[in-house]
Structure formats: structure tokens, C-alpha cells
Amino acid sequence: MADYFERYGFASNPFSLRELDPFQIQEDEHHLLRDIDGFVKLDDVGSYLGERTGAAVPAPAFVVITGNKKSGLSSAANAVLSQYREIRKLGNRFAVAKVKAADHSVTELYNRWVAALDAELQLLQLELSEKVAEKLQSARTLHNDSTLDYDLRGVVAGLLPALQVGKAGIGSCLEEIKSAKAIEIAEVVFSRVPTLCVFTAEAGVLDAEKLADTSPHICVIRLSHLSREDVGKVLLKRWGEATPLPFDLPTLGRFCESQKHPIGVVLTVVERLLKRRVRVYEELNGQGRWPTEEKLGFTDVTTLELLQGELEALIRGSQ
């Protein structure tokens, strides 16, 4: 039995879920859609980063990205990191400490951040003084919540001479933060450092509207769900131009919009539609390929039936 995507002319699943990382993988910039949902804000982020880094005294940049699960938080964060590196022309001299909050306290999160930063700085082979290196090592076990921000500011300040000599920069990506405290600490730590801090948080964890209104020095990106037009853009981008889409796009778009599906869920929807269609086709001993075999396609009726039936229940369970 052929894999379901082979019936449609693909060697691999065009709708696979994965984090896009233009920061590490240049080709991923091509796959990143900047004209859907909150990703349209990335252009504004570029302007914001340019202003922060282009000032007479370069200022720290703080970007907060909020959204539902599977809305592309990590992909958006990676895109911002890539933009910042390009604007500052840092090339491979950009050390980024990436950590996830998970179930860690804010203090534990920053302990992990110090360890990640230390590892990245070692890759740059910066010449740190013995005193600065020891202070960096000790910062992995800081535990006083009331002085954590200023303790870390002293640690980061000690790194600046080596960064300047090494023509390098540092950045941070703290994902899945659980409170605004993580941001407040970073504002103190990096208040005098030309750097980038990116935070991601699930929708509802932070008051994104209030943050945008009260903290103009912070750029806020809100990811949500795809409109029917966005659904079409995503599918056309992933499918390519070799063959026509087998779906009834208006029906699929309206359904995903009504269910408020973010991009990750939309991709899961489409993958399951294809699997189910091929399964039924092969149960009837079908041997063809799309688009020669039209039975592998979806009419508006069959699209809606599949979405509203067994598949819909599975999708709800995956959100």
C-alpha cells in the first residue's frame, strides 16, 4: 500500500508539523508566511528592531509573542531572532540562549538561561577574564528572588568588554513563560545592554493588550487563528504548483475559520483529510494517483462530511 502522500505525488508529507527556524536554517525563510494571522506583524518588528539598534546608544529590544497552542509561537520567535541578527550584521557571532520555562520557577528559568548562555559563549571562544568566567558560572545557582535581576545585570555587564572585542552579540529566547515576572527581570538585566530578548507565552498567560499599551518599549505580537483566506495561502504554499489542490478550498477555509483553528491545527486537519481519503480509496482497490484519479479529490460535500464527522472529533482532541 502506498503512503497516502505518494498518491498525491509527494515523497514526504507536505503538511508535516515542525518548528520553522530561519535563524538556523536559511531555507526556512522561504517557508515562513509573513502575510497570515499575526505573522504580518513581523514587518513592524523589523522597524522596531531597527530603531532600537540604530539609536545613538543602542537599546535593548524586547519582543513578546502570545498565542494559542500550535499557532506558530516558536517559528515567530526564530524569525525575530533572524531579523535581529541580520539588522546588526552579526553573522555567526550571535550567541542566543534559548530555554523553555516548562514547570520551572522564574529563578530556575534564569538559572537555566545562564547555563545556556555560557554554552553559547563558549562556542564563540570569547576571551573572558577569570573573574568574569567565575561569576558567570556562579550565576547558574542564584536563588535570591529579591536580587536576581540586579545580580544578573552585574553578570551581563561583565561580558560586554569581551563581546565588544570579539565583535559579537548576545540574545535570549525564553519560551512558554508563565508570568510577566520573567519580562520584568529581563528589563532590569539588559537595561544597558544592546541585545534582543524574545518571549513566548500561551494566550491568556499575559495581558497582551495592557502590555502593549503600558510598555511602548516592548513589541507585542499576537498570534491567533487563520481566516479562510489565510487557510488558502497556507495550503497553496505547502502544496506547490505541480498539481491542483484536491480540496474544496472554500469549504475547508470556512470550516477552519469557524472553528478558530491556528496554523498547526489546520495542517493537522488537512493531513487527516488526505489519510482518510486515501484509506477509503484503497479499500475500494484503487491504484491511481492524483490528479489523474479524480476519486482522490474532495467535493464540497465530501469535504464537509469528513470535517463534521469522525475527523472533527479527533481534531478537537488534538487542540
The pLDDT value given to residue 205: 94
Q: What is the CATH number of the domain that holds 58?
A: 3.40.50
274 in any annotated domain: yes
Could you give the 3-state DSSP secondary structure of residue 256?
helix
Residue 221 has pLDDT above 70, yes or no: yes
Q: Are residues 230 and 97 in the same domain?
A: no
Phi, psi dihedrals of residue 89, rounded to the nearest 5°: 55, 50
- Which of 158, 188, 222 is where one domain is finished? 222
Hey, how many other C-beta atoms are within 10 angstroms of the C-beta on 26?
A: 10
Q: Are residues 106 and 187 in the same domain?
A: yes
Q: Are residues 119 and 262 in the same domain?
A: no
Query: Would you place residue 310 in the very low, low, confident or very high pLDDT band (cuts 50, 70, 90)?
Result: very low
29 in any annotated domain: no
Q: Are residues 206 and 308 in the same domain?
A: no
Specify the residue for cell string 488526505: 274
32 in any annotated domain: no
31 in any annotated domain: no
Q: Are residues 181 and 236 in the same domain?
A: no
Structural domain tally of the chain? 2
- Which of 222, 256, 284 is where one domain is finished? 222
**Which of 27-31, 54-58, 315-319 has the largest mean confidence?**
27-31
Q: Are residues 9 and 45 in the same domain?
A: no
The pLDDT value given to residue 1: 41
List b or e across 59-92, with b for residues whose CB sees 16 or more CB atoms inside 10 angstroms. Answer: bbbbbbbbbbebbbbbbbbbbbbbbbbebbebee
pLDDT in tens, 46-68: 999 999 999 888 899 999 999 99
Q: Are residues 214 and 237 in the same domain?
A: no
The pLDDT value given to residue 34: 93
67 in any annotated domain: yes
- Which of 176, 207, 222 is where one domain is finished? 222
Q: Are residues 173 and 284 in the same domain?
A: no
278 in any annotated domain: yes
Q: Are residues 45 and 188 in the same domain?
A: yes
What is the rounded CA–CA span in Å between residue 139 and residue 69? Answer: 32
Q: Are residues 203 and 287 in the same domain?
A: no
The pLDDT value given to residue 312: 55
The chain-wide mean pLDDT, for the chain, equals 92
138 in any annotated domain: yes
Least confident of 184-193, 219-228, 301-310: 301-310
Residue 299 has pLDDT above 50, yes or no: yes
The pLDDT value given to residue 2: 52
Segment holding 116, helix H or strand E: helix 106-124
Q: Are residues 78 and 217 in the same domain?
A: yes
Residue 315 has pLDDT above 60, yes or no: no
22 in any annotated domain: no
Mention every residue, 6+ apart, whose C-beta is less than 8 A from residue 135. 154, 155, 158
Q: Are residues 115 and 177 in the same domain?
A: yes
pLDDT in tens, 143-194: 999 999 999 999 999 999 999 999 999 999 999 999 999 999 999 999 999 9
Residue 81 has pLDDT above 60, yes or no: yes
Q: Domain of residue 307: give its range.
A: 4-17+226-318
Q: What is the crossing angle of helices 228-239 and 249-258, to 10°?
A: 130
Query: Would you place residue 311 in the very low, low, confident or very high pLDDT band (cuts 50, 70, 90)?
Result: low
